[in-house]
Amino acid sequence: AQSVAQPEDQVNVAEGNPLTVKCTYSVSGNPYLFWYVQYPNRGLQFLLKYITGDNLVKGSYGFEAEFNKSQTSFHLKKPSALVSDSALYFCAVKIVGDKLSFGAGTTVTVRA
Partner 1 sequence: NAGVTQTPKFRVLKTGQSMTLLCAQDMNHEYMYWYRQDPGMGLRLIHYSVGEGTTAKGEVPDGYNVSRLKKQNFLLGLESAAPSQTSVYFCASSYRGDTQYFGPGTRLTVL
| Binding positions for partner 1, rule: CB under 8 A | 9, 34, 36, 41-46, 49, 90, 94, 97-100, 102-105
Return the number of the residue (28 or 70) whose C-beta is nearest partner 1: 28
CB of 112 to partner 1, least distance (A): 26
d(CA 27, CA 32): 9
CB of 60 to partner 1, least distance (A): 12
End-to-end CA, the chain: 40
> How many CB atoms within 10 Å of residue 68?
12
Residues 82 and 109 sit within 8 Å (Cβ to Cβ): no
CB of 98 to partner 1, least distance (A): 3
Return the number of the residue (27 or 100) whose C-beta is nearest partner 1: 100
d(CA 23, CA 50): 13
Return the number of the residue (54 or 98) whose C-beta is nearest partner 1: 98
